Structure 1
Amino acid sequence: MPLDLFQRICEQTAKYYPDTRLGYAFTEPLIYRHFDESLALAKQYNLSTAVTTNGLKLPEKAQVLCDNNVDDVFISLDGTKDIHNDIRGHRFSFQRAIDGMEALFSQKNAPDVSIFCVITEWNIGDLKSFADFFAQFPIKQLGFMHTNFTPQSVADTHNTIWGDRYFATESNMEVLDIKRMNLSHLWQEINTLKKADYADRISFSPDLSTFERLQTFYQQPEQFIGSACSDIFSTMMIKSDGSVIPAHGRCYNVEVGNLNEQNLSEIWNSDAFGLLRSDIQKAGGLLPACSRCCSALS
């Protein structure tokens, strides 16, 4: 994203939505060439910021995060060292994240640090060990997230109704093999984690209350787990070219505005954004392809 575009975002956010938070996410923000300058701009405009990172560049960027009053750092990890490094394809990935966390914790003005782990077929059985490892770290939260996915069958059902406005595609199925996920073992781990001494810092998204609900989540993806999407009323994603889509990168790739042509307030209140909100509300809170989106699981 050009720095002048980011500055316009800061200016307009401060003007129209000063209590909003700027979130760096979906592509690795710590390698953004204007990362340091952009944080300084956000600080200049007194805006709240949060950064989601894989942690590889965290040791080098810890100081700038602290110097610019970043509020939250969310670190994405996939398990204990060997499992995480194997999934990421980088033998030092886990240790780099740990080194970066320790660099943050050494600062008086450190942001809150949370760790998030997506549950997959490769880390079931490792979740308790993973949580134990971080039990003594001064983190705010350790979140386990059930995998977001859209099978082609769900996309097809959705597209027969909504494809002309909000086209859906298969998502995550090229890497996800539901049949290889040991749900019984996963359920045992979830219950063990909820009884751990540090359980008050652990969260699950969604928090499935029974084994049957866990089975439904993975084996019946056409069935809704949540009831409504709130992110379309609270979040927008600005792409590097200035185009804007609703909610975030997992939402429908529908352009609801462009910062090169409109300001943030005009986009937030645009007809395109309003139509999506109205359509989703009229449909009962979710569209068919929303069923396993992270925003539809509350």
Structure 2
Amino acid sequence: MGNPIPIQYVMKVIESPDILVHGARHALRRRVLGPLDYRRGDGLSRLPAQVGLKLVNACNLRCKMCSQWGESGYNFIRPAAELRQLVPLSAYQKLIDDIAHYKPWMYVWGGEPFLYRDIMPLIAYMKEKELLVSITTNGTKIGSHAKDLVAYGTDILLFSIDGPKDTHDNIRGYKGAFDLTVSALQEIQAEKKRQRKAKPYIVMTSVFTANNQSNMEELYEIAEEIGIDMMMTYYAWFQTEESGLHYTQILEEKMDITPWSWRGYLWNVDEIDPQAVADTVRRLKSRRWRFPYAFFPELKPEEIAPYYRNHGHTFGHSKCVAPWTLCGVMPNGDVVTCRDYPDVVLGNIQQESLLNIWNSQQAQTFRHLLQGEGLLPICSRCEGLMDI
């Protein structure tokens, strides 16, 4: 994190110490206990610190760099009937009942999660069970939910905005997207004041692309006007044909699985100018902002060009412990080892408890594979390795 933490942010966190506790537990699991489980060698692991619920595949936007619905999005090659499958609320409630006792961090996303019809009852149920709930959204479908999102005690809302109005709408493929998202942000902030609540914390997320690599400062200024609690800026995740084909070869040989998700990350990263990005990052870090910020992955200035031009460079990250600490539940109920690359399915929550699926034979097989390979070819540009 490059910005001194503003005192007003510290005061907000003090008002909600539960987030500090969850954050500390997650960090302990990720940084200490996860590596210990990795070294056990038996493929088993403690229960996941974070459970990601991908509620829907559907999305109303078409962001250029999106692995799902972007220019090379993998959803375009998936069967339409499969994309429409949804887990009913009752099955999610059963899942929550199974895992609530150990208090995992619940991460809700999509597609656009607010297209899931029962998202508000689901949030209410998770908060009744005293789980920490964070939601990633493009903000255009929140509509009338602002009041309940605050009242239910939603912990963190991550809004995706990639630049000032015209830039954002161009990247998102939808004219008017910026206004809808900013309006939702403002309504959430107003509702927090009306209800005298500190939460949800508002986190703005953005991704460097060729369209915004030189004007990200304008977005940070907009974020200050809105009064966000934190900014997270990503250098972008991507793959190459070579990394994807090598990954395919390994999974086919070792697990008899033909992966498909990597094709969604084949967008043209060569359009990004590493020097322009480096200059923008330098300018951003030279200014004081009224919110803390972070770049993912954390790179030194001289590492930015290799990040975009040398796909195999892992910048010191030698092993991935995400399959030992995190799991993802797909819209059809499939439990996967990596939510961004959901090729390896461990089971389905509509057929079996997550508590049994987590250390299933399939889970152990994949963990053994990852230990044997060190890293898979796609891992070098995945947030499971460098971010979460």
The answer to whether the superposition gives a TM-score over 0.5 is yes
User: What CA deviation, in whole Å up to 9, does each residue of 1:165-199 have, x standing for no partner?
Assistant: 2544443455x323321211111111111111028
Distance 1:172 1:125, change over 3 A: farther
Q: Secondary structure at the match of 1:256?
A: strand
Which residue number corresponds to residue 111 of structure 1?
200
Contact 2:209 2:236 in 1 (8 A): yes
For structure 1, which segment, 225-234 or 177-186, has the greater mean C-alpha deviation from structure 2 after superposition? Answer: 225-234
Please show how residues 88-99 of structure 1 align to structure 2 within 5 Å.
Answer: 88-99=172-183
Question: 1:193 aligned to 2:284?
Answer: yes
Q: Secondary structure at the match of 2:298?
A: coil
Question: Using the alignment, how far apart are the partners of 1:186 and 1:240 within structure 2?
Answer: 35
Which residue number corresponds to residue 352 of structure 2?
262
Which residue number corresponds to residue 2 of structure 1?
88
Which residue number corresponds to residue 252 of structure 2?
163
Please show how residues 242-261 of structure 1 align to structure 2 within 5 Å.
Answer: 242-248=333-339, 250-261=340-351
Q: Secondary structure at the match of 2:111?
A: coil
Letter of the structure 2 residue corresponding to residue 71 of structure 1: D
User: What CA deviation, in whole Å up to 9, does each residue of 1:191-221 have, x standing for no partner?
Assistant: 111111028612110111133x212211111
Question: Using the alignment, how far apart are the partners of 1:191 and 1:52 within structure 2?
Answer: 27
Which residue number corresponds to residue 153 of structure 1?
242
Q: How many residues align?
A: 292
Please show how residues 1-298 of structure 1 align to structure 2 within 5 Å.
Answer: 1-15=87-101, 17=102, 19-106=103-190, 107=192, 108-109=196-197, 110-164=199-253, 165=255, 167-169=258-260, 170-172=262-264, 176-198=267-289, 201-211=292-302, 213-225=303-315, 226-248=317-339, 250-284=340-374, 286-298=375-387
- 1:22 Cα deviation from its structure 2 partner: 1.7
- 1:89 Cα deviation from its structure 2 partner: 2.4
Structure 1 or 2: more helix by fraction: 2
Contact 1:168 1:289 in 2 (8 A): no
- 1:34 Cα deviation from its structure 2 partner: 0.6
Question: Using the alignment, how far apart are the partners of 2:327 and 2:301 within structure 1?
Answer: 33
Question: Using the alignment, how far apart are the partners of 1:112 and 1:55 within structure 2?
Answer: 14
Letter of the structure 1 residue corresponding to residue 269 of structure 2: I
Question: Using the alignment, how far apart are the partners of 2:342 and 2:176 within structure 1?
Answer: 35
Contact 1:234 1:247 in 2 (8 A): no
Q: Secondary structure at the match of 2:213?
A: coil
Question: Using the alignment, how far apart are the partners of 1:50 and 1:2 within structure 2?
Answer: 20
Question: Using the alignment, how far apart are the partners of 1:217 and 1:199 within structure 2?
Answer: 29
Q: Comparing both chains, which one has the higher relative contact order based on Cα–Cα distances under 8 Å and sequence gaps of 6 or more?
A: 2
Question: Using the alignment, how far apart are the partners of 1:181 and 1:199 within structure 2?
Answer: 28
Contact 2:346 2:357 in 1 (8 A): yes
Distance 1:171 1:205, change over 3 A: farther
Letter of the structure 2 residue corresponding to residue 31 of structure 1: L
Q: Secondary structure at the match of 1:257?
A: strand
Contact 1:80 1:130 in 2 (8 A): yes
Contact 2:232 2:296 in 1 (8 A): yes
Unaligned runs of 5+ in 1: none
Letter of the structure 1 residue corresponding to residue 126 of structure 2: A
Letter of the structure 1 residue corresponding to residue 224 of structure 2: A
Letter of the structure 2 residue corresponding to residue 158 of structure 1: Y
Letter of the structure 1 residue corresponding to residue 114 of structure 2: L
Letter of the structure 2 residue corresponding to residue 7 of structure 1: Q
Letter of the structure 1 residue corresponding to residue 243 of structure 2: V
- 1:69 Cα deviation from its structure 2 partner: 0.9
Contact 2:186 2:226 in 1 (8 A): no
Unaligned runs of 5+ in 2: 1-86
Contact 2:133 2:154 in 1 (8 A): yes
Contact 2:106 2:132 in 1 (8 A): yes
Question: Using the alignment, how far apart are the partners of 1:252 and 1:40 within structure 2?
Answer: 27
Contact 1:58 1:96 in 2 (8 A): no
Contact 2:238 2:269 in 1 (8 A): no
